[in-house]
Amino acid sequence: MILIDGKKIADDIKAELKATVEAHKTKTGKAPGLTVIIVGDNPASQVYVRNKAKSCVEIGMNSDVIELPNTISQTELLDKIHVLNRDTSVHGILVQQPLPKHIDDFAVTLAIAPEKDVDGFHPENVGRLMIGRLDECFISCTPFGVVELFKRYKISTSGKHCVVVGRSNIVGKPMANLMVQKLDFMNSTVTICHSSTPDISVFTRQADILIAAIGKANFITAEMVKAGAVVMDVGINRVEDKTAKSGARLVGDVHFESVSKIASAITPVPGGVGPMTIAMLLSNTLKSFERTLN
């Protein structure tokens, strides 16, 4: 069984990005810039934003975090995004989710210029992904990270049956769209399952490649997995654990202890797909910067 080490691969990618950023600085005197907007004081969001900013600094990118109060109006937030759209030193714009209920998430997504939408959520980027113009779009970072793990571990996906459990706009849908593309480390036959699928196990047991992104702790058990399958666990769930100092621990959507005994390869949680998300965000930001140079 191969334990897929996403943290190591993410570190390798960041080292590669750092070398490229330094080369650009030497040649042009310029560096990629990522601006993250966070609205309110959600503790989990603050941790994610700090990690993103820290990773930017580590590889030599410019990083800016704009902290806004929960009371900000949608119009005021959109105005700030429009200013960043016009700022030539900013190559990536990310608005941290979740947003306050009085702000329309989709309006915020539409406001970000597609060429700076390094999260890959704008309909223009989603559409280009759908029709296979991958070199002309930004790919949603978590699915992008999963495909990169397939590449780095040389896991064959062509012609394989890939079952995606989950249909979110952030992971499930773009993941399925990626895996069906006629390219290396994709090119799969794809099935999507979700919360309204009766007896999901009928489909998951057929999967050569199983990608779990349903947001339910330990949802995928050994009885639901075909022996020898490759299992990519995208879920991050906090569950009670009285033995842990914090009283809780992180687990995925896959019951790792049982599934790891029959899978040919599997990602752990934490340390699997999670670190890849930030690595691919940085990769998208560098890509945006390089487009401006050309």
Question: Which superfamily, per CATH, for 140-274?
Answer: NAD(P)-binding Rossmann-like Domain (3.40.50.720)
The residue ranges of every structural domain in the chain are: 28-113, 140-274
Q: Any idea which architecture 28-113 has in CATH?
A: 3-Layer(aba) Sandwich (3.40)
- Hey, which bits of the chain come out as E strands? 2-3, 33-39, 62-68, 92-95, 161-165, 189-193, 209-212, 230-233, 237-240, 248-251, 265-266
Q: Residues 151-164: what's their mean pLDDT?
A: 98
Q: Is 96 a catalytic residue?
A: yes
pLDDT on residue 101: 95
Sheet holding 62-68, edge to edge: 62-68, 33-39, 92-95
Say if 28-113 and 140-274 have the same CATH topology.
yes
Average pLDDT (153-158) is: 97
119 is catalytic: yes
Mean pLDDT within 54-77: 96
Q: What share of the chain in percent tops pLDDT 90?
A: 93
Q: What is the pLDDT of residues 95-110, one digit of tens each?
A: 999 999 999 999 999 9
Q: Is the pLDDT of residue 68 over 90?
A: yes
Which is catalytic among the residues 52, 80, 116, 173?
52
Out of 119, 208, 233, 253, which one is annotated catalytic? Answer: 119
pLDDT at 44: 82
Is 90 exceeded by the pLDDT of residue 196?
A: yes
Identified catalytic residue from 5, 80, 96, 181: 96
192 pLDDT higher than 90: yes
What confidence tens digit (pLDDT) does each residue in 230-258 have? 999 999 999 988 888 888 889 999 999 99
